[in-house]
Structure 1
Amino acid sequence: MPRPPVRPCLFVGVLLAGIAGAAGAATLERGNGPEPSTLDAHKCQEVACGNVLRDLYEGLVTEDARGRLVPGMAERWFMSADGRTWTFVLRDGLRWSNGEPLDAPQVVASFRRAFLPLTAAPFGELFDALHDAKAVQAGNAPPSSLGVEATDARTVVFHLDRSAPFPALLTLPIAFPVYLPAVQRLGAQHTRPGALVSNGAYRLAAWTPQANLVVERNAYFHDARDVAIERVRYQVTEDAAAEMQRFAAGDLHITEVVPPQPLDALRRRFGTQLHVSPYLGAFWLGINTTVAPYRDGDCVRVSMPPSTGPRGLAPLRDGCLDRGHALRRALSLAIDRDILVHHVTGFGERVAFGVVPPGIEGYAPATTPWAGWSQARREAEARRLYRAAGFDARRPLEIELRYNTSTPHRRLALAVASMWRRVLGARVRLRNEEWKVFVGNRKQRVITQVFRGGWIGDVPDARNFLTAFDGDGPLNWTGYSDTGVHERLAHADAARSPAARNAWLHAAETRVLQSDAVIPLYFYTSKHLVDARVHGFEANTLDHHASRWLRLDP
């Protein structure tokens, strides 16, 4: 049968509709590093799940493309004169991704769930300013005593025991509203596709373990009309080199990282698609201070060179050397950080001798007394401490360095192991683990010795980097506990001026560094490859890039 003629206007209309449909159906392909350990917003503690959750959820306050605080669920908020009461007024007509209304009492109920002992939210420690937050999380107070209430359907009020940068904290996943009917009905399975109900710009559409995770635009989101990208696929990309190859082949629009390679060569290859910028993050190696031979308390009588003991550079007290502390410091001194940042990482990272990175307004980061030494002097001191701790060529230290599967982490672990062998004669075993296994082992502190650690800033505040060293919370992977640190942080919390608060935080960081429970190595830069068709990708120190702010050319 002959094909009927096509009317020109009809053909053009069909063609335009097809183009529009193709553009609307475009999928943003994002590398995301390891498999997210969870999509339970209250239990997320790493970058991989945080990236996805910022697409699925929105807190009372959120961040724009440049990392600035902007209204989220709340259209406005205000603080009391003493800085201890915060009031948030919700937008009218908020809805969950299933279309049900979302109001202030549900926000309050979600906060109470976040701080239940059973939830074990790892970021609960960051909310210690919230009234009774610690007591509720420890099981010593009922959830109803938590300092949050709904005074009406659209108003949420928080009561603090001290001043704190509270709006910034509300951008964290622990502050996202979780849909409790699904939690009550499905338990841990409420995070699966078809079950997860969220309130952000996207909803969960699919999740293929160890492969990818797909989110689609949420039609009930209050700003859905301005969400340009219909669908986002987060790809599991633990191997940075393979991730870059997928980007070069056109399979990814954005990478999570860039593998260690000469920066000039990458710039020649990728041009303006390479994005490198300052990042509020510190990389360090943690040491399990609860196990031998790294724990404190075993003293040996030694005669240390006068140049070390009196200046407080060796862990001496009344002629007694703490064996575990001496060994930890020896491991730290033996590492040549300049080699690491110039030849192993190579992306403009800055050598670190502290745990709080520069760039936080009003805060002067602390450092170690030996930061200004030459590397030769550090290595000589490392050998003396190593021998004093009871190790030598006939009795070498056998040490296990654990890290999560990743090309950059493997390269760095190999370099550190080589330095420990060369300088100290230690026997080093490298152990790499899939992310979820690594996180679990690090948290339990049973089989770990030295491990990949560090902290990425959740908010631009020095206390955010120090909270893990205060007490025995879930973020204290080293097991280090010191009343001196706790007292200094308490003084910072009670300070009446930003300057006094920062001075006490500086004192707390100094105390942490004196313990050598962690080995600071470098401060991060963020590194991404971004396809030229992606618009709206802005540098920011927290390296948060929610998909709702991006656009993708067809």
Structure 2
Amino acid sequence: MLVLCPLTAQAGTLLRIGNGPEPESLDPQRMSSVSALNIARDLYEGLTRIGADGEIEPAAAWGWQIADGGRRYTFDLRPNLRWSNGAALTAQDFVAALRRVVDPATGAPYAQLFAPIVNAAAITAGHASPDTLAVWALGPSRLQILLKQPAPYFLGLLAHPASFPIYLPALAQYGRAFARPGRLVSNGAYRLEAWRVESQVALQRNRQYWDDAHTQIDRVQYVAGDDVAAQLQRYRAGELDVTSEVPLVQAPRIRADEGSELHVAAYLGSYFYGINMQRAPLGDHLALRRALAMAIDRELIVDKVMNGLALPAYGWVPPGVSGYQAQLPDWARWPYARRLAEAQRLLADAGYSAAHPLQVEIRYNTHDDHKRIATVIAAMWKQRLGVQATLVNEENKVFFVHRRLGLTQIFRAAWIGDFDDALSFLDVLRAGNGRNDEHWHDTAYDALLQRASSQSDPAARAALLEAAERRALAAQPFIPIYWYVSKHLVKPRVHGWRDNLLDVHYSKDLGVDG
């Protein structure tokens, strides 16, 4: 049984953050949820970080040089970096982390992010040893990384928690159990004080952090709970300073009562329905997939179901990605009446009618909003196409296992970009990607991504990626529904909050009034 340290009363400035579901781990190489990643950015620090406006900034590394046509990166660490226990932090700690994340024995959910590094793919596939990864410590404060091809987004990858350094003595002593109170040694602005499961994770200011002089908040509490309505109640009661999101059904009242505290901004996230391409009849018939996609009234969903807290989606890559023009199918520009008429024609031509209706299954994980959206879409398909949709609700863990195993037909899905680049979305559909639960394989699509990865000219690279997205949209292995916006309530006592496309916020950059 896992027993974690209790919380203790302490003095100093305190920031209380609603953080959604319980984090599955505080091990930076093994975590995957947004809630865990949020905490990791306070506990640890990578070579780079996401700036307040979403730009890449130096972090543990004060600078870097790029050579060999964009393939070789050399990083210089800041002087006198320390772990939270006072031990010296060196380049070897970053080497160990990167080799650990691609090691299949680690089971890192984000291992494929680092495929651009020489030998990473072979290591992840079990064909090479982790120590062959092309990452080297050139000295205590200098690190070098060699890529297979230029990757203009690579500096952004190094701001992802999966690349954060690892304290090797704790890993050697405790193994996978090192990321717990009393054991976890970190290098970020905060250290782990306590963890009360299904309640909160408490952080204390790390006085060993190189930039501690500019840290304003002494303590941070990440409060767990996936009941968004309950989180709002706690916010209104003064028990939270920031919410992870807001309940959609209460959006009108929130705008009226807390309008100045509501932060809504563009976000690198997509909500969609995946289609299992291995299962008939949808996997065999493009016309059926397209008809279902065309018949969804996204504007109605955003307006009535989402209460305006989203953007209608017709493409795969969200708008606003740096250096990229989001792609749309031609029919996205048609009036809804024309789209619906075409959807009805496609179904009729495929042999479906009121006497012989198409029957489908929509599977979703437990959440009130997922249920509401599925119910609305099923009603649209029934009333406008005669399609009979069965709704299947599953607990989160069961749902994701069924997705991976292909035991689905149509399933609720979402993707949040890990870095500000179109490839963060497009790579999910590549054959062999562990997140490709649609099981869609297209050699031409994969070839376009491969060509883009070896292209150093930004315009030519963008053109190849845009061509890949158009090919995916034409094949329709998914149905875009809406693009996320970030939506937080932030108390007036919190200052320094800056909205950005990745919705990344470091507690060290914030302050609170007493």
Q: Quote how far apart the aligned CAs of 1:264 are.
A: 5.5
Give the SS at the match of 2:245. Answer: coil
Q: Are the structure 2 counterparts of residues 94 and 374 from structure 1 closer, same or farther at C-alpha, using a change threshold of 3 Å?
A: same
Matches within 5 A, 1:90-169: 90-164=77-151, 165-169=153-157
Q: Quote how far apart the aligned CAs of 1:329 are.
A: 2.0
Q: State the alpha-carbon separation in 2 of the partners of residues 81 and 185 from structure 1.
A: 39
- Tell me the residue number matched to 1:498: 458
- Tell me the residue number matched to 2:509: 549
Q: Are the structure 2 counterparts of residues 430 and 551 from structure 1 closer, same or farther at C-alpha, using a change threshold of 3 Å?
A: farther
Amino acid at match of 2:312: V
Q: Are the structure 2 counterparts of residues 183 and 402 from structure 1 closer, same or farther at C-alpha, using a change threshold of 3 Å?
A: farther
Q: State the alpha-carbon separation in 2 of the partners of residues 99 and 434 from structure 1.
A: 43
- Tell me the residue number matched to 2:3: none
The alignment of Structure 1 onto Structure 2 pairs a total of residues equal to: 505
Q: Are the structure 2 counterparts of residues 159 and 426 from structure 1 closer, same or farther at C-alpha, using a change threshold of 3 Å?
A: same
Aligned mate of 2:220, from 222, 228, 232: 232
Mean Cα deviation higher: 424-433 or 34-43? 424-433
Aligned mate of 2:307, from 340, 343, 346: 346
Q: Are the structure 2 counterparts of residues 101 and 508 from structure 1 closer, same or farther at C-alpha, using a change threshold of 3 Å?
A: same
Give the SS at the match of 1:95. Answer: coil
- Tell me the residue number matched to 1:368: 329
Amino acid at match of 1:259: P
Q: Are the structure 2 counterparts of residues 538 and 213 from structure 1 closer, same or farther at C-alpha, using a change threshold of 3 Å?
A: same
2:406 paired with 1:446: yes
What's the CA shift string for 1:382-412, capped at 9, x where partnerless? 3343355555444544433233333333322
Aligned mate of 2:479, from 509, 516, 519: 519
Q: Are the structure 2 counterparts of residues 511 and 111 from structure 1 closer, same or farther at C-alpha, using a change threshold of 3 Å?
A: same
Q: State the alpha-carbon separation in 1 of the partners of residues 85 and 357 from structure 2.
A: 61
Does the CA-based 8 Å contact 2:427-2:433 persist in structure 1?
Answer: no
What's the CA shift string for 1:73-107, capped at 9, x where partnerless? 11111111511111101112222223322111121
Q: Are the structure 2 counterparts of residues 188 and 88 from structure 1 closer, same or farther at C-alpha, using a change threshold of 3 Å?
A: same
Q: State the alpha-carbon separation in 2 of the partners of residues 430 and 183 from structure 1.
A: 44
Q: Quote how far apart the aligned CAs of 1:53 are.
A: 1.1
Q: Are the structure 2 counterparts of residues 102 and 440 from structure 1 closer, same or farther at C-alpha, using a change threshold of 3 Å?
A: farther
Q: State the alpha-carbon separation in 2 of the partners of residues 211 and 387 from structure 1.
A: 53
Aligned mate of 2:468, from 504, 508, 511: 508
Q: Quote how far apart the aligned CAs of 1:232 are.
A: 1.7
Q: State the alpha-carbon separation in 2 of the partners of residues 259 and 360 from structure 1.
A: 27
Q: Quote how far apart the aligned CAs of 1:115 are.
A: 0.4
Q: State the alpha-carbon separation in 2 of the partners of residues 40 and 479 from structure 1.
A: 29
- Tell me the residue number matched to 2:383: 422
Matches within 5 A, 1:373-522: 373-389=334-350, 391-442=352-403, 444-522=404-482
Does the CA-based 8 Å contact 1:62-1:72 persist in structure 2?
Answer: yes
Q: Quote how far apart the aligned CAs of 1:271 are.
A: 2.9
Mean Cα deviation higher: 500-509 or 459-468? 459-468
Q: State the alpha-carbon separation in 2 of the partners of residues 398 and 209 from structure 1.
A: 42
Does the CA-based 8 Å contact 1:280-1:524 persist in structure 2?
Answer: yes
Q: State the alpha-carbon separation in 2 of the partners of residues 145 and 508 from structure 1.
A: 32
Q: State the alpha-carbon separation in 1 of the partners of residues 167 and 32 from structure 2.
A: 19
Q: State the alpha-carbon separation in 1 of the partners of residues 454 and 289 from structure 2.
A: 32
Q: Quote how far apart the aligned CAs of 1:266 are.
A: 2.5
Q: State the alpha-carbon separation in 2 of the partners of residues 407 and 500 from structure 1.
A: 43
Mean Cα deviation higher: 91-100 or 427-436? 427-436
Q: Are the structure 2 counterparts of residues 183 and 480 from structure 1 closer, same or farther at C-alpha, using a change threshold of 3 Å?
A: farther
Q: State the alpha-carbon separation in 1 of the partners of residues 422 and 323 from structure 2.
A: 10
Q: State the alpha-carbon separation in 1 of the partners of residues 350 and 179 from structure 2.
A: 49
Does the CA-based 8 Å contact 2:327-2:466 persist in structure 1?
Answer: yes
Q: Quote how far apart the aligned CAs of 1:229 are.
A: 1.8
Aligned mate of 2:287, from 326, 335, 343: 326
Q: Are the structure 2 counterparts of residues 397 and 226 from structure 1 closer, same or farther at C-alpha, using a change threshold of 3 Å?
A: same
Q: Are the structure 2 counterparts of residues 417 and 58 from structure 1 closer, same or farther at C-alpha, using a change threshold of 3 Å?
A: same
Does the CA-based 8 Å contact 2:43-2:192 persist in structure 1?
Answer: yes
Give the SS at the match of 1:453. Answer: strand
Matches within 5 A, 1:4-23: none
Does the CA-based 8 Å contact 2:362-2:389 persist in structure 1?
Answer: yes
Q: State the alpha-carbon separation in 1 of the partners of residues 273 and 20 from structure 2.
A: 20
- Tell me the residue number matched to 1:56: 43
Does the CA-based 8 Å contact 2:102-2:112 persist in structure 1?
Answer: no
- Tell me the residue number matched to 1:532: 492
Q: State the alpha-carbon separation in 2 of the partners of residues 101 and 374 from structure 1.
A: 62
Q: Quote how far apart the aligned CAs of 1:436 are.
A: 4.3
Q: Are the structure 2 counterparts of residues 215 and 395 from structure 1 closer, same or farther at C-alpha, using a change threshold of 3 Å?
A: farther
2:213 paired with 1:253: no
Q: Quote how far apart the aligned CAs of 1:228 are.
A: 1.9
What's the CA shift string for 1:134-176, capped at 9, x where partnerless? 1111111222221211111111001112111221110011111
Q: Quote how far apart the aligned CAs of 1:338 are.
A: 1.0
- Tell me the residue number matched to 2:208: 220
Aligned identity (percent) is 44
Q: Quote how far apart the aligned CAs of 1:343 are.
A: 1.2
Unaligned 5+ segments in structure 2 are 1-8
Unaligned 5+ segments in structure 1 are 1-21, 297-322
- Tell me the residue number matched to 1:278: 266
- Tell me the residue number matched to 1:88: 75
User: With structure 2 as the length reference, what TM-score do the two structures score?
Assistant: 0.92
Q: Are the structure 2 counterparts of residues 492 and 260 from structure 1 closer, same or farther at C-alpha, using a change threshold of 3 Å?
A: same
Amino acid at match of 1:92: P
Does the CA-based 8 Å contact 1:24-1:229 persist in structure 2?
Answer: no
Q: Quote how far apart the aligned CAs of 1:40 are.
A: 2.3
2:35 paired with 1:75: no
Q: Are the structure 2 counterparts of residues 83 and 211 from structure 1 closer, same or farther at C-alpha, using a change threshold of 3 Å?
A: same
Give the SS at the match of 2:483. Answer: strand
Q: Quote how far apart the aligned CAs of 1:525 are.
A: 1.5
- Tell me the residue number matched to 1:179: 167
Mean Cα deviation higher: 143-152 or 62-71? 62-71
Q: State the alpha-carbon separation in 1 of the partners of residues 431 and 268 from structure 2.
A: 24
Give the SS at the match of 1:454. Answer: strand
Name the Cα RMSD after superposition.
2.2
Q: State the alpha-carbon separation in 1 of the partners of residues 40 and 264 from structure 2.
A: 24
Q: Are the structure 2 counterparts of residues 293 and 186 from structure 1 closer, same or farther at C-alpha, using a change threshold of 3 Å?
A: farther
Give the SS at the match of 1:326. Answer: helix
Q: State the alpha-carbon separation in 2 of the partners of residues 62 and 79 from structure 1.
A: 17
Amino acid at match of 1:54: R
Give the SS at the match of 1:43. Answer: coil
Q: Are the structure 2 counterparts of residues 333 and 144 from structure 1 closer, same or farther at C-alpha, using a change threshold of 3 Å?
A: same
